[in-house]
Each structure stands twice: as C-alpha cells, then as structure tokens.
Structure 1
C-alpha cells in the first residue's frame, strides 16, 4: 500500500499496485501517479477489456458513419482486432501491443491500404477513450512505425487504345455508355451507375453527380463519396450525341418489355430498368477488354485515364481536380503528375520562349 496524495476533501488516496520487477520501477511508477494526482489528471485504471470497450464505442460510432463504412469497421473489429488484442485490459493496452498488431497484419499479407484502415479504427477508438478520460492517453499515437499506404502504379490507356476500345464496344455491349461516360468524365463506378437522365443538362452540356450505387449494388445512395464529390462535370458534344443514341435505344427496350420495365431513371441499367451492379459492370468490362485486344486495366483505371489525358493536354490541374471531385489539388497532383514526365520540360520551354526569346 502506498500513499498517493490527497483528494479534494484532504483524505489520503491509497492505491495498491504490484508486478514491478525492481524497487526502482515501483518508485518511478509511484512518482508518475503522484504527479498526475497533483495535476488533477489521474485516471483510475479500468479493468474493462478492449473488446468490450470496442463494442460500446462502435455501437455509438456506427450512427455517424455510412452503412458501407460501418460494415467494414465491424469486419475489421471482429476478424482482426479482437482476435489479436481484444482480451487485453483497456488500461493496460500500450504502444507495444499496437506495434505488434501492425506487424501481425503485415505478416498476414494484407494490402497496405487495408492495414492503414484497420489501424485507423484502433486509433480512432482510442482517441475517443482518451477524450472521455477512460484512459490517460492514446497508446496508438506513440507507435514507431505507423502504417502507410503504398501507392500502386497507375496504369492507363493512351488515346489510340481508348478509341479502339470504344469503337469495338459500341455495337457489342449494352454497357458501352458506362465505359464512355467513365472515360469522358472521370466519374467513379458508383457515380456512373447512379447517374440519371434528370442529372444531364443537354442544353448546358453538363452532368451532375447527386447519387451513387453502393458497392454491393443493392441500393442507390443519395449524395456522393465526399462533399467535394457532389459536382457538375462539363461534357463534350460527342458524349451528348452518345447519350442521346443510348436514350433512344433504352426507350425501345422499355417499349419491348411489355410493362415489366422498372423505370428508375438510370442511364446505365439492366434491360428491364433495374440497377446494374458494380460486379456485373466490372465483368462486362473485363470481357470487353478481351474482345477489343487492348491492355487489361481495371474499370477504375478509366478514371485515371481521363485524368492523365487532361494533364497531358495541359489542362489546368485545378480543373482536373474539380472534374474528379478530389478534396484537394494536392491529391490530384500526387496521383497523376508522375504520368506526365514531360510537363516540367514543357513548362520550362514555354516560359523560356516567353521571357528570353529576344536574347537568344
């Protein structure tokens, strides 16, 4: 038993704590506790297990995040976090536990982006615990090696490959309009699938992103991925023409359905008007690539192709950012500037021509 100062009424505060290997360790711990009591920052160690705290935290957190994000958080907690350190008392959780957990996830071969997301769940939960004074500080904030996302090399098509692909899919797949829109606008897959005819302004040559199809394809979600993703994108006349051609074809399908057509107003949909799921679209895209003979890329790489082409055409990067719906211009530059190795030399030559043409 050791005296640890006095409470607000002047009574002595006494706590019992063991497990120290040496007398010096015990004296150091006692000094630290005394200091925190004197500062008014002492927090009584909780015997609550980390897994029980996570359950309470997530129950409240789930109401403030999207459905898909909540599903991912739940999986990360059940499959990864709880099996590794769920039985550790919250008050005894330290940076070594967190660091070993990160190593464990990497050893399992998980993608760096997945490791980062799982760490974010742990860190966010512990930030909340520290804020509520359940623990004195967040142990996840002190780990030496925090997970970093290793960016994969972006693979894109050049202009000739885009033209070959669109020419060969125009008459062979009903999903051609989705491929065309992704290349012409840089929209994400869920945005393409959620685009309605009412979102197209043919007179002003604009499309508006106002809703998306979820990753599982089971529902349409109002809004977009982020606030900056809610945006208007200018479209060219060739895309206007393609949209009108597709609308006429869709009208024929509706007429031929015999009244069984579900009109959701979607541009990309099934033959009966229902939602086209991301999985179906990705499969159709892979099949179209094989038939077209162009290099294999992911559907999301059509978005990268759109951005890289704009940058190579010296379109202002701020415009590219706005079309893609990125939250910052830095994100756009970090993702795509390496695709344009000649941009620096082009800039130097243009500037040199403007400033020094009379001195050469």
Structure 2
C-alpha cells in the first residue's frame, strides 16, 4: 500500500470555500449567529492593529471591514476604544462627518471640536468616558470665562480681561452649550454604530431646553413703512419678496429666472447661494428636503419682478462685454451673483435711511410668518410656505403668536357665552361694537 493511499491528498477544489485576497482579512460566522470580520488597519503612532467588526450577515461584516481598510489605505489611522477621544474626534471629522454634512456645518463642527471638545475632553479614553465626565466638563464650561480660557486678551491692542486682572465674564450662551453638547452626541453616536463603545454616554446628560433666540418681527404698520422705503431701491423686488413670502436669504439669492413662472405666478425653490471655504460663493442644495418647494407668488411681487427684469436688461446693455451672465434673478450691476454679506449691508442701510428700527434680515422671514398667523392662516400652510421640515418647528418658533391668538379666541367665545340680559342692562359707552358684529373664527 502506497503512502498516497494511506494519506490521501487534500482536495484542491475551491468551490466549497471562499478565498479572500491577502490583506482582505478573515470572515466567519460565530456560534451566536453573527458574522465577524477581522483585519489589520493603520492605528495611532504609525502602527498596524488587528480589529474586529460584526454584522448580522456576512455582507454587513465584509462592508464594515472594507470601509475601515479603505480609510486605513488613505493614511487615516482608525481609532479604537483603547484610544483617546481626541483621536476618535479627528477620525470622525476627517473621514465620516466630511461626507455627511454640508460644508458650512462641517466647518462649525470642526470649530467646536477644536475650541471646546479637544481642550476639555480630548485626553479622556474613549472606552472609559462616562456621563459624569461629560456633565462635569459641561458644568465647568458653563461657568468658565472663554476670554481667559482661550487667551483672547493677548491678541487685543488694549487688554480688558485676564491680562489686567479683571475678568470680563464672557461665558457661553445656553444655545452654544447645547450646540457643543449635540456635536459630542453626534460623534459618540457614530462610535456606537461602529461598535467602538457600547453606549452613547453623552445622551445620558441632560442640558435642559435653552430658550429660543428672540426675534423682533415687524408689525403690520412697520411692514407697510418698510415696503414704502424700498421704492426706488435696486433690490426693492428682493426685499418685497422676502417680506411677503418669508424666503431665506440664501434662497432669495439663489433664485434663477428659470425658477420663476410669472405667467402662472409661482416660484420653485431649488437651491441656496452661500459662501464656503473651499468653493467661494456656491449654489448648494436647500437646507432640508422640505425646503425644496414650489410657492405661489403674491400679485405685487409679480409686478415688481417684471420691473426688476426690465431693469436688469438695461444693466446688461450698459455693461456690454463686461456682463456676467450668471442667470440669477438678483445680481450686481455687472450680472455677478450677490454676496450674503453685501445684501445685509444694503438692508441695514435701508433701515437707517428710512429711520426704521434695526432688525436682522432673517426677521423679515419671521415677520411674514407672524403676520400670516395674525390673519388667521392655518399653521400647515405657513409650514409649507416657509419650507420647515416638520410642523412642530413652525409651532415651536411661533408659539407666542399662537398664544396671543388663543387669548383673542377665548375673548370672542366669552362674548358669545355672555348672558343677553347682562348685555342689555350694561350701559353702552359707544366704544365697543355690538356683539352680533363680533367676528367668530
């Protein structure tokens, strides 16, 4: 009997097994039914570390491992639960958040991480971070003068805080604190999804609901004065459109003539014009999916837009070869798009010349919604006009207006339920209309 008969050679067929290329890692099914994938990736300190990821199916596990290996191949160290929070936040900003956030939002997140999260919690171990650590740090951040903590006094020509021994008590607002907290929650939520940590400890820290930013909408009389003041201004059509429809600044500047149907009296909101760090003045998608909408244009806006189109044609003839055909409705005299900061300067100068109280440009949006509510327009209609993602946003922002309307409605109901005998015996001073003329909604 030969040796080949006693020790048969193993089968060389690969049909019964999956062969993965060198460096792709290993994938197998665990006894608990989950799939586990393991492989080597770049870690902190220019070293390589074997990591394990899990999934409910083989495809899920392979996809997670492939993503981590691809990130490693780009030279970005993959954080592990044994690493610091600073290493994870850096990884999250550079390889995750940058693909999921708008550029301006990513810039704000990066500033929050650099100014607050890294100095306060960066040295903490990601796996050992607790809710108490987060709460203690937030409490300290709430009571710390940022002028002293960030050394702002050293860059001033005339020191007015730490350098002269007098604290200016420049503390973060509750809204800023809530924003910092939300950035940390978003980062740790991704760590939970990647199974770096078992739970998001930042979610267990209660910050309380900060008061919404106060705004001062125009009254009906002030709104009429504002519209009168815009007559003859080169951007009068824009100001009127802002007040009558509540469009955002970027949505107004991003309007193109192809978005307007003046014959049917509608406008399609498809983009917003904003300045970014990398692309300069750029047309971006609307703030949310609900912000991309079609709205009806008021009749006065149709007339002012037609006049504005005629004015733009004259500007094009004057500019000649220097005209920049950007296609936007509201442009500079040479056809170039308008910066948001430039529009704000025009708006502020208009208020000053008309001797109207100073408000933000965004308050025109609040004014439109407030005046519509006071005229009895349904909340859902205002939500669609403003492009809010949820009606709860509209209801929360304009809760004070709705409360005032509720009082008016209750007073009307009280008039309707008043005893007729009491009404008849009450002397008529001529200041109130008869009850039968009281409007009931």
Short-chain TM bin: 0.7 to 0.9
Residue 258 of structure 1 aligns to a residue whose secondary structure is helix
Aligned residue for 1:347? Answer: 409
Higher helix share: 1
The change in CA–CA distance for 1:318 and 1:279 in structure 2 (over 3 A counts) is same
Q: Is the 8 A contact 1:218 1:277 kept in 2?
A: no
Q: Is the 8 A contact 2:275 2:282 kept in 1?
A: no
- Alpha-carbon distance in structure 2 between the residues aligned to 1:356 and 1:224: 51
Offset of residue 136 of structure 1: 2.6
Does residue 234 in structure 1 map to residue 296 in structure 2? yes
Aligned residue for 2:331? Answer: 269
Offset of residue 76 of structure 1: 1.3
Offset of residue 318 of structure 1: 0.8
Residue 117 of structure 1 aligns to a residue whose secondary structure is helix
* Aligned ranges 1:28-107 → 2 under 5 Å: 46-58=81-93, 59-107=95-143
Offset of residue 357 of structure 1: 11
Tell me the alpha carbon deviations over residues 68-106 of structure 1, each in whole angstroms, 9 at most, x when there is no partner. Answer: 111111111112211111111112211122112322433
Does residue 336 in structure 1 map to residue 336 in structure 2? no
Aligned residue for 1:163? Answer: 224
Offset of residue 293 of structure 1: 1.0
Tell me the alpha carbon deviations over residues 160-217 of structure 1, each in whole angstroms, 9 at most, x when there is no partner. Answer: 212222222221x322222111101100111011111111111221111001111559
Aligned residue for 1:210? Answer: 270
* Aligned ranges 1:308-327 → 2 under 5 Å: 308-327=370-389
Aligned residue for 2:287? Answer: 225
Q: Is the 8 A contact 2:230 2:236 kept in 1?
A: yes
Aligned residue for 2:350? Answer: 288
Where does the alignment leave 5 or more consecutive residues of structure 2 unmatched?
1-30, 32-79, 147-170, 424-441
Q: Is the 8 A contact 1:185 1:323 kept in 2?
A: yes
Residue 219 of structure 1 aligns to a residue whose secondary structure is strand
Residue 92 of structure 1 aligns to a residue whose secondary structure is coil
Q: Is the 8 A contact 1:211 1:220 kept in 2?
A: no
Whichever of the two has the greater Rg, that structure is 2
Q: Is the 8 A contact 2:237 2:301 kept in 1?
A: no
Offset of residue 130 of structure 1: 2.3
Aligned residue for 1:5? Answer: none
Q: Is the 8 A contact 1:311 1:317 kept in 2?
A: yes
- RMSD over aligned CA atoms reads 2.5
Aligned residue for 2:256? Answer: 196
The change in CA–CA distance for 1:84 and 1:349 in structure 2 (over 3 A counts) is closer
Residue 321 of structure 2 aligns to a residue whose secondary structure is coil
Q: TM-score, length-normalised on structure 2?
A: 0.66
Residue 398 of structure 2 aligns to a residue whose secondary structure is helix
Does residue 300 in structure 1 map to residue 356 in structure 2? no
| Higher RCO structure, 1 or 2 (CA under 8 Å, sep 6+) | 1
Residue 172 of structure 2 aligns to a residue whose secondary structure is coil
Aligned length: 315
The change in CA–CA distance for 1:150 and 1:345 in structure 2 (over 3 A counts) is closer
Tell me the alpha carbon deviations over residues 20-59 of structure 1, each in whole angstroms, 9 at most, x when there is no partner. Answer: xxxxxxxxxxxxxxxxxxxxxxxxx943011111112222
Residue 283 of structure 2 aligns to a residue whose secondary structure is strand
State the 4+ residue runs in structure 1 displaced beyond 3 angstroms: 345-360
Q: TM-score, length-normalised on structure 1?
A: 0.81
- Alpha-carbon distance in structure 2 between the residues aligned to 1:152 and 1:76: 20
Tell me the alpha carbon deviations over residues 257-285 of structure 1, each in whole angstroms, 9 at most, x when there is no partner. Answer: 02111111111211111121111111111
Does residue 133 in structure 1 map to residue 195 in structure 2? yes
Instruction: Name whichever of 214-223 and 157-166 sits farther off.
Output: 214-223
Residue 233 of structure 1 aligns to a residue whose secondary structure is strand
Where does the alignment leave 5 or more consecutive residues of structure 1 unmatched?
1-7, 9-44
